[in-house]
Amino acid sequence: MPFYHKLGNIPHKRHIQFRKPDGSLYYEQLFGTIGFDGMSTNSYHEQRPTQVKEIKKQYSVAPKIALKNNLKSYRLKGFQVKPENDFLESRKTVLINSDCAIILAAPKQSTENYFYKNTDADELIFIHKGTGKLRTMLGNLDFKYGDYLLVPRGIIYKIDFDTEDNRLFIVESRRPIYTPKRYRNWFGQLLEHSPFCERDIRQPQELETYNESGEFLIKVKKQDDIIEMVYASHPFDVIGYDGYNYPYAFSIHDFEPITGRIHQPPPVHQTFETDAFVVCSFVPRLYDYHPQSIPAPYNHSNIDSDEVLYYVDGDFMSRNDVDAGHISLHPAGIPHGPHPGAAERSIGKTKTDELAVMVDTFKPLMVTEEAMKIADDSYHKSWLE
């Protein structure tokens, strides 16, 4: 996150002696990104963060591809993804390219016996259903419906749920996920025309520190394999840190919509960006107020980006027969637009209560076998009168 955060105890200078009450040194770790050019965090550990005890298993979790070169629009019925006890096993990749993976998950249980670390990708976890606490080596974040949780790559975490009924929409990104650059000044501060500001971004305030030795299993994701590594010290043993690289939360309900007299283009909904895709939040808002405006979107041909819309809540004005938890995939190369009747139906409406998350990828997405299990195979013909 491009603003500074400090939590716990740290010495007054970097890379100097910082001692425990018993006189021994704390173990400093610089946790950087993009070599030494990206955002970094400087953390202080009770024990060496390097104590690998054993490497147990390594297995692939690469999704099976059903359609490599796809030009067909799809509707995926996301809530048909079956709930599973384990957080990692519950994650079903439905769409993927070399930059990102789009995942649906309905985990029933908190992660109990292991920690998780994704070294491939930043994870953007959107909470559709469920409440709980994301617990990380750099502090905890409480979450609820509508929260985006951004976990930068390499952050060791666990996730605790309060109940069994949880639904997550996750984007794994091999490119760093940032807030849109056009909303930031040259110091990184979010500008007045940004639809959200620093006050809307929740940083970790609660740091769990365990000075424990033993056997601690971390499931590490690398190159689409899970590698089970046992460490000799508790992964949450940080007594303090500062820097710019840490997990944070942002609620979609804190996104302030930008509206206009005529239809506003999708970039006004943009919430996050990478150099490979963008994430937009469609939130309840007033409709366009030109006397002859058509609130429904026009047909559009996203010739060089695949469009994924995840429907969260409310009434979806431009589509017929779309429910919460559905995903629509409109692939690059062919036009799409409102369903028959939707444009006329939208005229005269003054507001919408729709809530949706959109991911537009610049490279085409492949459709996985998990997606085909929940796919509506006739959706691509749904524009016929």
Residues binding Fe ion (CB under 5 A): 307
Q: CA gyration radius for the chain?
A: 22
Least distance in angstroms from the C-beta of 296 to Fe ion: 11
Q: Cα 189 vs. chain centroid, distance in angstroms?
A: 22
For Fe ion, which is the closer residue by CB, 288 or 307?
307
72 and 330 in contact (C-beta within 8 Å)?
no
For Fe ion, which is the closer residue by CB, 122 or 307?
307
Least distance in angstroms from the C-beta of 256 to Fe ion: 22
Contacts 24+ apart (CB under 8 A), 220-225: 220/117, 220/119, 221/61, 221/116, 221/117, 221/118, 221/119, 221/120, 221/121, 222/119, 222/120, 223/120, 224/60, 224/61, 224/62, 224/120, 225/58, 225/59, 225/60, 225/61, 225/62
For Fe ion, which is the closer residue by CB, 251 or 281?
281
Least distance in angstroms from the C-beta of 330 to Fe ion: 6
Least distance in angstroms from the C-beta of 260 to Fe ion: 18
Least distance in angstroms from the C-beta of 111 to Fe ion: 36
Least distance in angstroms from the C-beta of 68 to Fe ion: 23
Produce one character per residue of 37-63: b if its CB has 16 or more CB atoms within 10 Å, e if not: eebbbbbbbbbebeeeeeeeeeeeeeb
For Fe ion, which is the closer residue by CB, 28 or 307?
307
For Fe ion, which is the closer residue by CB, 147 or 307?
307
CB atoms within 10 A of CB 27: 17
For Fe ion, which is the closer residue by CB, 121 or 343?
343
